[in-house]
Amino acid sequence: MNFDLIVIGSGPGGYKAALTAAHLGAKVALVEKALPGGTCLNQGCIPKKTLLHLATLIEDVNNLQDRGLVGRVRGDFNTAIAHKNAVVAGIRDNFSIWLRRLGVQVFAAEARLLGGQRVELRSCPNDATPARVLQAGRIILAAGSAPLQLATCPTDGERILNSRDFMMNLSQLPESVLCIGGGAVGVELGFLLHQFGSRVCIVEQHSRLLDRPRIPERASAMLERKFARIGIEVHKNASMADYAVAHDGIKVNLSDGFSGTFEKILVAVGRKPQIDGLGLREAGVAVNADGFVQVSEYLETSAAGIYAIGDLKPGPMTANAALHDAKIAAGNAINGNQMRANYHKVPVVIDSALEIAAVGLTEDLAEAAGFDADVAMSSLGGSGKARARHDFEGFIEVVHDAETGQLLGGCIVGPEAGEQIHMLAAACQSARGLWFLRDMSYSHPSWCEELEAAVDPYAAELGRSHKTIFTPGIFAGHR
């Protein structure tokens, strides 16, 4: 069978790539060997967000006692898991229907590259279709990733879990959990378990939680302070020394001298690309020393006409980045290589005891890039909406160049940060840049009006100066 484009993998990247190409008029095949929707739908973003919404509601309601609400609430973990499963199943059951409406043909099969733009499909258990070979002018690899193993604490799927085990198999709330890794997965699932009643300890080998370049240190510090206040124990600059499984739990020794016993261990130390069985070598697709598919700025691999997106290639291993990649690769595959990947344009969002979102450059990254970086800040303590909601722990920071006013990026910590960040991302891509946030007319009270409150004094000062002001945002005009 002949197609314009074959997409291998149906996670957010593969799904978006198929839709984008179909909207461009291409005849598209989408191949998935496991559950439709990939990691994001079945083990990641959707089930996590479903459970974290409930976890946050527990805190929100209990924080409003004596402010008009009466009666404390507590989590029912078993029922929450059942609700999560129903949400995921509802989306998954409609997955193929939504694709078919746009003419995308979906195959339940394992895919292997044969070279010459051919893909062999090997039947999956639920697919009655015999083995076949598909041909296409272009191919997009979107096979995703799997949790990394930790040599000092290998998972067993029962007591020592990874994120996939947690989302797919955990049905009973553990009395206590040690989270190894203080990145996004550790701080999100650790908070979730704490809210439902588990005793949680997080161990992180670096000097701070969320130790990544695009999350400013002040955001990590605020999250750490909240963890301490609500009772989540954190050990930084530490790692697993040794452990022993006993009848009463898992006895753990950390490198900083801490010892404790936990019912479960959650290993959250990163992910690795799933490249086995794809036939990359036979098709001439190069892989780097870390196992990631090598790509150009257009996301094309070393094999002409074959693209790789999402977790398969170097770069941020998030659903947001995969969605960004999907539009770039699909557009280039159908219309020729024109668009380049730029992950500074892609928001980073963390859902934990505080919601944290960032886009563009942090102050440190901006200085390293040669800008005269300055930060406009606004605390949620002065927000009318935050005060009305009694939810004012957080801040907004907007990074700009002090000489020109060029908008460079920023970070939002607090309620609905993941939604507010889109306003800041739009400003970074606007010809008005910093002034985009002043041009807006906001509803009051609202979260987003605090963006104007943050930048107003700086924009006013720049306006009064005799400097030549460069107004576009840093990504204005970038494709």
Arithmetic mean of pLDDT, 368-373: 96
Looking at the structure, do residues 321 and 410 belong to the same domain, yes or no? no
Q: How confident is the model at residue 463 (pLDDT cuts 50, 70, 90)?
A: confident
Q: What is the pLDDT of residue 478?
A: 62
> Is the residue at 315 inside a domain?
yes
> Is the residue at 479 inside a domain?
no
> Is the residue at 76 inside a domain?
no
Arithmetic mean of pLDDT, 162-189: 96
- Give the pair of three-digit tokens for residue 285: 């697709």
Q: What is the pLDDT of residue 479?
A: 58
- What is the total count of domains within the chain? 3
Q: What is the pLDDT of residue 466?
A: 76
> Is the residue at 472 inside a domain?
no
Arithmetic mean of pLDDT, 50-66: 94
- Give the pair of three-digit tokens for residue 89: 């199943």
Tell me which amino acid residue 194 is.
Answer: H
Looking at the structure, do residues 413 and 335 belong to the same domain, yes or no? no
Arithmetic mean of pLDDT, 275-293: 96
User: Which residues span the domain enclosing 388?
Assistant: 354-464
* pLDDT tens-digit readout, 380-434: 999 999 999 999 999 999 999 999 999 999 999 999 999 999 999 999 999 999 9
Looking at the structure, do residues 300 and 222 belong to the same domain, yes or no? no
Q: What is the pLDDT of residue 174?
A: 97
* pLDDT tens-digit readout, 198-231: 999 999 999 999 999 999 999 999 999 999 999 9
> Is the residue at 358 inside a domain?
yes
Q: What is the pLDDT of residue 467?
A: 76
Of 300, 325, 344, the residue at which a domain comes to its end is 344
Q: What is the pLDDT of residue 471?
A: 82
Give the list of residues 6+ apart from residue 211 with CB closer than 8 angstroms, or none.
182, 183, 204, 220
Of 239, 269, 299, the residue at which a domain comes to its end is 269
Element (H, E) at 251: strand 249-254
Of 317, 344, 371, the residue at which a domain comes to its end is 344
Residue listed under structure tokens 């978006």: 16
Q: What is the pLDDT of residue 66?
A: 87
> Is the residue at 229 inside a domain?
yes
Looking at the structure, do residues 379 and 420 belong to the same domain, yes or no? yes
Q: What is the pLDDT of residue 62?
A: 92
Q: What is the pLDDT of residue 126?
A: 59
Q: Domain containing 414 — which CATH number?
A: 3.30.390.30
Distances (CA, A) of 258 to 225, 261, 355, 469: 20, 10, 29, 54
- Give the pair of three-digit tokens for residue 352: 């934990």
The residues annotated with a catalytic role in the active site are 444
* pLDDT tens-digit readout, 254-264: 999 999 999 99
* pLDDT tens-digit readout, 110-162: 999 998 899 999 986 655 666 799 999 999 999 999 999 999 999 999 999 99
Looking at the structure, do residues 10 and 139 belong to the same domain, yes or no? yes
* Long-range CB contacts for residues 238-241, cutoff 8 Å, separation at least 24: 238/203, 238/204, 238/205, 239/152, 239/180, 239/203, 239/205, 240/150, 240/152, 240/153, 240/180, 240/203, 241/152
> Is the residue at 313 inside a domain?
yes
Question: In this structure, is the dihedral angle defined by the CA atoms of residues 409, 47, 106 and 303, taken in order, positive or negative?
Answer: positive
Neighbours of 438 (CB within 10 A): 16
Looking at the structure, do residues 124 and 109 belong to the same domain, yes or no? yes
Q: Domain containing 262 — which CATH number?
A: 3.50.50.60
Looking at the structure, do residues 175 and 216 belong to the same domain, yes or no? yes
> Is the residue at 56 inside a domain?
no
Arithmetic mean of pLDDT, 17-34: 97
